[in-house]
Amino acid sequence: MLKYLNKIQPIYYILGVFLLCLTLTFLGNDRFPFKYAKDFDEKSYLEIIRYLPDLFHHKSFDSYYISRLLVPGIAHYIIRFLQLDYSNETIQNIFLGLNFLSILLGCYYYFKIIKIKNYSSNLIAIGFCFLFVNFFVMKFSSFYSILMDMFGFTSGIILYYYYLTKKKILFYSLLLICMFIFPTTILIVLGVMLSDIITFDEKGLNINKNFNKWLWSILSFALLFLVSICYIRYDFITTKANADFANQMSQNFIPLTILTFIIFLYFAVKQLLQIANNVSVRYKGFISPTFYSSIGILLFYLSVSKYLSVNFQGTKAFSSTSFIANLLYQILSFPLKFMITHFIYYGLFVVFILFFHKVLFLYAKNNLDSFQKIIFTLFIIFSILGTETRQFLQLFPFVLFIFLDSLKNYKFSANLVLGIFIFQLIWSRFWYIIDLPEGFLFYALKDKDISDFPAQRYFQFQGPWLSETNSIWYGAIFIIIYLITYTILKKSQQTNID
């Protein structure tokens, strides 16, 4: 019996525990309370699901939600087919079911991908832990189920599979569908469109020779510029921060935040420039089928979006300009806050990326095609600029498999895999109760302050709204975990290449 059990790969034990804990979480009662729906995205999704035919008839959709329209539409017709009422509870239960199925579908495609990749059994288990055993999948998908993030995440896994298998018709068809599932699909479409235009060869621009030597001077000037702006406009910045009680800017740390950001940006850009070295423009790419297919997808989406929102009367939820401004504003919130918030979501994936960054970027430089280099670069850039991790979950599977590919020649022990899984399981907070009987926002809305508990029971997981105190605590935890992991990895055999 023991001999038989020893032959079972670690991934199947991990999968069993994962499914058990996931099921318990979905069967639990910890849910986002509807009494707060009017202040969150949930309100808009509930309205779309209830009044979908009327919104279609009057062409009065908010353009912001058209890129997330498909799944609420599916939920509407499921409820209609089952002849159920459109109550909050019914809609929530439908989305709980859809989220659970989405996770299972993601797992199915993960195993299809690893069959092609030929990873070692331990690397398969590590990849699964990073992709699925995390806060977003194991807790947030059931707590705040009426969001489109899970479907964006799963669509990223599926898109990667069809790109990997070179099934172009299915890949482009899915891209078109995903334009109405999650907004970052447009980045993937742009990556596809540019992949036939941007190439990397010896005839391309030698960035190391022509630009890299000026990098430190450019970023030093950027540092001076940002510090000057903050000094000149400091009163404006602090007034703006104080006027918005939901904003969690650590005003006392602004100088340190800028300094650490510029230093980190220097090293990140230096690595990215290695990937972009020898870049050139292939003009024939402008007349390639790939280019025209991508343009067709974009034009179709823009046409549908314009048509469905032509009579929209309300205030737009979020414009592209305000989105970019929000990203830039997050840079000033806390020193390296983006790294802390990504650690809260992804766990040890962030630690491993930092430890193996040289291996990863070297692999990316020498082995990735143009499309994957573009997606990889976009993910790194937005991960540095933004602290709301869930906004770019659709790109996460692409980067994860690139990372796993870079580690194929490394040996990982079974004990290390077990340690990773245990940490990821605990760090996923599947066991954590976010809401309270009186509501986690009971005191926050009354006092106009979300920087303390119980409001931080929820907002500690929502990047920009992580409080200064919790940023310090999580930052300290991150440093401790990194040092422990660094010591273990250094001492283990995994750094010995076959």
SS3 279: strand
State how far the Cα of 269 lies from the Cα of 265, in Å rounded to an integer.
Answer: 6
Both tokens assigned to 420: 């990773």
Q: Is the pLDDT of residue 436 over 90?
A: no
Mean per-residue pLDDT, 325-350:
82
Q: What is the pLDDT of residue 409?
A: 87
Mean pLDDT of the chain: 84
Q: For the residues 93-101, what does the mean pLDDT come to?
A: 94
DSSP secondary structure string for all residues of 181-248: T-TTHHHHHHHHHHHTTEEEEEEEE-HHHHTGGGHHHHHHHHHHHHHHHHHHTHHHHHHHHHH-TT--
Tens of pLDDT, residues 310-319: 777 666 555 5
Region 439-448: mean pLDDT is 71
> Tens digits of per-residue pLDDT, 271-288?
888 888 777 788 887 888
User: Is 463:341 a contact under the CB 8 Å cutoff?
Assistant: yes
The whole-model pTM stands at 0.90
**Structural domain boundaries of the chain?**
2-197+282-495
What's the pLDDT at 430?
A: 93
4 pLDDT higher than 60? no
Whether residue 348 contacts residue 423, with contact meaning beta carbons closer than 8 Å, is answered with yes
Rounded CA-CA distance 173/152 in Å is 15
Q: What is the mean pLDDT of the segment spanning 189-198?
A: 90
Using one digit for the tens of pLDDT, what is the confidence trace for 368-390? 888 999 999 999 988 888 888 88
Per-residue pLDDT band for 494 (boundaries 50, 70, 90) equals very low
Q: Please give the structure tokens belonging to residue 42.
A: 């949930």
Mean pLDDT of 301-325: 70
pLDDT at 157: 96
Q: Provide the phi-psi class of 83: left if phi over 0, else alpha when psi is between -120 and 50, else beta.
A: left
Q: DSSP alpha helices (H): ranges in 276-356?
A: 289-308, 320-331, 337-346, 348-355
> Alpha-carbon torsion 471, 472, 476, 477, what sign?
negative
CA 254 to CA 331: how far, in whole Å? 9
Residue 476 CB neighbour total at 10 angstroms: 11
